Structure 1
């Protein structure tokens, strides 16, 4: 992927911000409860001030409207630094759901606050432990000029801080997307402990007042495509970070009087992993570009990229832990955090098996 001048400037900006503000130590503090918040607010504020939260928001709403390739450059840094922010849930999923499905009034009310960091959005989609977007039991009912939504969603990302939920619900036998504002009805948020320290919760809507997002039936597909593409890039960034840390360890750790990086068997494993990361990154960039261009096979490319990136992250984290030896499993080293995030991100919006199966079906197998 050859970046244009604007994209390269954005990539450099994101790298500087995350290198300066993001730290695995913050993740440790949040996990231990000493941080006081469930995401990195200092980093999020820096992202807001630099405009990174408005990458997918139109310019007339205060954003940049740079496209998914540019958002992917930020997601790559999120993965490299294990950053805890609402970027995926709000700046990507929320911006696309409202941007594509919202009417003029909804866009006016919500897209600006997304770009300015004032509003956090949560996508409430799944109703079981595994990603099955077509299985929707939540019901929407017409009520006056609006609707009410009743049902329960599981593992909703950034739900505890959300001001608006984007909810999938059945309306007249068809799954549609609705926007539910906090305070617009009964919404019960029950935080759950996540493997990777991300803020997640089970959410119950009890006749909550809702607004229909009037986009066509492809709005949800576009939101999920964007989410999977972002996760693919995040997993690529994560894999690169693990690879870099592992190479550093191999160059420093000595055994039998030699640096273990000089052992041919470990060199072969490192070379294999390097190739896998390059292929995964190329596929992820191609998928992002396909989404931006509206390519007919964009969804298929994204499924392939997510599946490949998930497998590469699994390999990278496993190799990283193994090459660090027994110490790789201790809490003193950061590698274990990358392994946990790799597992969680791979599951979100469909694991490698899910994406592979959907890809095969799309190809007629």
Structure 2
């Protein structure tokens, strides 16, 4: 049943969102946004463990987990606001993945994860053609493209029996790392009669994946907003023919077009978040999430590429910060479903509604 919000409800949510945004802005600026994004590129872990623990201390890992299970019990509006601000700073810590596992782990493991005692990352949840096989409490098989696998203490693995919690140092588990365009890494996690710490069942994987998918869209919104802001600043200081290039009407029109794409994305992300918070019918939630995800991916690619072009030749050099943004977008395009997959899901939901 859909939850109706009163004006008081809306005002309370707006205040919570503002507080979340303020705390995220403070943390990102305190640790240095783009400077730290550069520092973590090509590093062994791909993140800063101290900052990840700070995320946990602030309750961000369990932000969507109910209070009775040790989380903050907040809604999607707060979650997408947080991820937008983290996206602006190109924050490398895997909050989306960490929040996904926090929602699915059994109580003891979830508590350790939420409190920062262990980092448990998802492996294959939401998309694996041939999941590992679990027999006699041991896994065999592999999962590809596990994000920041080297930083994990354990993995929550999608297998043929559901979800399996496996320690990274368990016997028979090996990693094969591959670098990505933004300097982070993914890995193929291989299991050879690897013991399972615990099998997990009776959890709502679909709901957790909707959160993660919309979280990716919100993070991309932050990335494109920051790239746009950097570009506006550049247009105000770069001079040609005796005047700032931002005064040229052709560039102004291009900038306005990009701003429109950003605001359309923001509206779609907010609409999908409200659909989840107000407990709309699941088909409507899925349509809204897929719409926001597709728009965020296509708009982020457009905005960040255009931002590089606005900077001219220097924008294509590795030294230019503006180039960090499209690289981040590239690695997120297919996280929790690509554009084509979400278009197909949207159309299948429309067909079901019309049937």
TM-score for the superposition, normalised by structure 1: 0.87
**Aligned pairs (5 A) from 1:255-266:** 255-266=240-251
State the secondary structure of the residue aligned to 1:140.
strand
Q: In structure 2, which of residues 127, 141, 152 is the aligned counterpart of residue 133 of structure 1?
A: 127
Paired residue for 1:272?
Answer: 257
Q: In structure 1, which of residues 94, 97, 101 is the aligned counterpart of residue 101 of structure 2?
A: 94
Q: Deviations over 1:267-288 (max 9, x none)?
A: 1111111111111011112212
**Cα distance change of structure 1 residues 309 and 31 upon mapping to structure 2, 3 Å threshold:** same
Paired residue for 2:235?
Answer: 250
**Is 1:344 aligned to 2:331, yes or no?**
yes
**Cα distance change of structure 1 residues 22 and 87 upon mapping to structure 2, 3 Å threshold:** farther
State the secondary structure of the residue aligned to 1:241.
helix
The answer to whether the 8 Å contact 1:22/1:43 transfers is no
Paired residue for 2:4?
Answer: none
The answer to whether the 8 Å contact 1:177/1:220 transfers is no
Stretches of structure 2 that go unaligned for 5 or more consecutive residues are 1-9
Q: In structure 2, which of residues 1, 12, 15 is the aligned counterpart of residue 5 of structure 1?
A: 15
**Is 1:205 aligned to 2:191, yes or no?**
yes
**Is 1:59 aligned to 2:58, yes or no?**
no
**Cα distance change of structure 1 residues 47 and 134 upon mapping to structure 2, 3 Å threshold:** closer
Q: Deviations over 1:228-280 (max 9, x none)?
A: 11100000000100010000001111111111101111111111111111110
**Cα distance change of structure 1 residues 32 and 220 upon mapping to structure 2, 3 Å threshold:** closer
Distance 1:358 1:53 in 2: 28
Distance 2:312 2:32 in 1: 26
State the secondary structure of the residue aligned to 2:163.
strand
**Is 1:241 aligned to 2:249, yes or no?**
no
Distance 2:185 2:102 in 1: 19
Structure 1 runs of 4+ with >3 Å offset: 182-185
Paired residue for 2:120?
Answer: 121
The answer to whether the 8 Å contact 1:18/1:43 transfers is no
- CA drift of 1:32 comes to 5.3
**Is 1:324 aligned to 2:311, yes or no?**
yes
Q: Deviations over 1:334-353 (max 9, x none)?
A: 11110011111112122222
Q: Deviations over 1:117-147 (max 9, x none)?
A: 1111111117xxxxx8262242222x2xxx3
**Is 1:229 aligned to 2:237, yes or no?**
no
- CA drift of 1:37 comes to 4.3
**Cα distance change of structure 1 residues 355 and 208 upon mapping to structure 2, 3 Å threshold:** same
Q: In structure 1, which of residues 324, 342, 353 is the aligned counterpart of residue 340 of structure 2?
A: 353
State the secondary structure of the residue aligned to 2:150.
helix
State the secondary structure of the residue aligned to 2:29.
helix
Moved more, 254-263 or 58-67: 58-67
Matched length: 339
- CA drift of 1:359 comes to 0.9
**Is 1:38 aligned to 2:28, yes or no?**
no
TM-score for the superposition, normalised by structure 2: 0.89
The answer to whether the 8 Å contact 1:158/1:201 transfers is yes
**Cα distance change of structure 1 residues 179 and 292 upon mapping to structure 2, 3 Å threshold:** farther
Paired residue for 1:80?
Answer: 88
- CA drift of 1:50 comes to 2.5
- CA drift of 1:214 comes to 1.4
**Is 1:362 aligned to 2:349, yes or no?**
yes
Distance 2:252 2:104 in 1: 45
- CA drift of 1:69 comes to 2.4
Distance 1:177 1:26 in 2: 34
State the secondary structure of the residue aligned to 2:41.
helix
**Cα distance change of structure 1 residues 184 and 58 upon mapping to structure 2, 3 Å threshold:** farther
Distance 1:332 1:320 in 2: 15
Distance 2:71 2:154 in 1: 19
